[in-house]
Amino acid sequence: MMRGGNATIGTWLQFPSADVAEVMGASGYDWVAVDMEHGAFTRAILPDVFRAIERGGSTPFARIAQAELRPIKDALDSGAQGLVFPMIESREQLDRAISLSLYPDAGGSRGVGYSRANMYGRDFDPYRVDVAKDILLVAQIEHIRAVDQLDAILSHRLDAIMVGPYDLSGSMGLTGQFDHPDFVAVMARINEACKRHNMPMGNHVVQPEPERLAKCIADGYRFIAYGIDAVFLLHGCACPKR
């Protein structure tokens, strides 16, 4: 959907549970991102979680802990079909992350071997030809330093960027002050750069509020994370006032 210009809506997982992943994957989202940065996921559980997401018809993403070799390899070999790179601040950092995500025949340096992603070699060529070269790649813009490098970052092979509003506002000394004029101006600057580069811009609607999601879509966001498994649970299990 995103590559066709339409909004794509996903959600976020922090609980290391294949059962929760299965429920979220079957809830109608285009993609479900496993949060390897702030969640408690181990390498061993990733294949089960990705399988559970796929079972419901959603695309399994991973927001890796850092844009480095080990987490990228772990996520892709376990079956992630999309990666979210956190804290991208420069073109050089993004160059390395993307290189580590693509096989050499697609211009990268990803290690080639049998894994769950290619059914341990049975589907090696179909995976390499039809899936691996089209891994969806998203860079998170989470620091004011990245805003000064936007043109270089956005001119790379990316499918979208995603603003991390809490980290970005924090780097400006305005943590959580999303209505502050300086933060609003930076968001407008990012939006203008995305339009220049025809790059889908993303955001995270942390609190599951449908009206905020509708506003994001109306404002032109095209890669939107809606809620988090823990936040959904907190909303759903809150004890009614007596």
Active site residue ranges: 38
Task: Measure the CA–CA gap between 122 and 120, rounded to whole angstroms.
Answer: 6
Task: Measure the CA–CA gap between 213 and 207, rounded to whole angstroms.
Answer: 10
Query: Concatenated DSSP letters for 121-184?
Result: GTTHHHHHHHTGGG-EEEEEE-SHHHHTTHHHHHTSS-SEEEE-HHHHHHHTT-TT-TTSHHHH
Task: Measure the CA–CA gap between 53 and 35, rounded to whole angstroms.
Answer: 13
Residue reference for tokens 């992603």: 117
Nearest to 169 by CA among 154, 191, 185: 185
188: number of Cβ within 10 Å: 10
Nearest to 207 by CA among 228, 178, 185, 236: 228
**Helix, coil or strand: residue 203:** strand
Task: Measure the CA–CA gap between 208 and 193, rounded to whole angstroms.
Answer: 28
150: number of Cβ within 10 Å: 20
